[in-house]
Amino acid sequence: MKKLLKYVLLFPASCLVNTANASLMFVTPSDVSSLTTSINTANSLIKDATDNNYAPGSPAGGGGGSSTYTSQAYNTWTFNFDDMYMLSSAYIWDYYGHSPTEWNLSFFGRSGSQLSTYDFTIAPDFSGGSTLHNINFADVSGVKSITLSNTNLSIKGGVGLEEVHFGGVSIPEPSSITAFGLALIGLSLRKIKKTKLKFS
C-alpha cells in the first residue's frame, strides 16, 4: 500500500514533466486586447495565424488586411488562451517600419501571477514588406496569458504588427490529473482486494 501511495503522489509531477516530450504545436490565442486604440481590432493579430506559412498582405495600406496599428509611441497587447500551455517560441509578422525593434514578452499563469519575462530584438523590413520573426525562449509552463510590449520607438512612428501566435504544448488541467490519479488508486485498491480474496 505504501508503494501504491508513493506512485500516486508522484503521478502529477511526472505527468507535467512528460509534456515537454510532446510534439510542438502552433498555439493561437483565443482573443487579444490592446492597451491603446488602434486601427483594426487587436484580434486581427490572430485572424490567420495558424502556422508559420502565413503570408500577410501588404501593410502599406495603413492598417489594412489583418494588421493592427496604433499611432501611440508605445503599446501593449494582451493574448489570452483557452487552456494552459507550456510555450517555447513566438511567431511575429512585423508591420515594416511601424514595428519597433525592441520588445518584451511577459507570461502569466491562471491566477494572474507573472511566471517569466523575455526581452528580444527584431529587424523589420523598413522598405515596406512584412517579415516573419521566430522568437525562441526557455520553456515557460502554465501560461494562461501573455503581454507583448515595445520598449523603443519605431522608425516610421506608431506601433504596428501583422500577426502573432506561439509555439508550445497543452498542459492538462490539475483537476484532470487529480481525477486520473484517483482512478489509478481505485483500480489498484480493487486489485489488492482481489489478491487478498484469492489467498484467503
- Which residue has cell 492538462? 172
Neighbour count for residue 95 (Cβ, 10 Å):
26
What residues contact 111, with CB distance under 8 A and at least 6 apart? Answer: none
Domain map (residue ranges) of the chain: 24-172
CB 103 within 8 A of CB 137: no
Whole-structure pTM value? 0.73
pLDDT, tens digit (0-9, with 9 covering 90-100), for 24-81? 688 888 999 999 988 888 887 876 554 444 455 444 433 345 678 999 999 999 999 9
- Each residue's pLDDT tens digit, 96-150: 899 999 999 999 999 999 999 999 999 998 887 788 899 999 999 999 999 999 9
Query: If one looks up domain 24-172 in CATH, what number appears?
Result: 2.60.120.260
Count of residues in the chain = 200
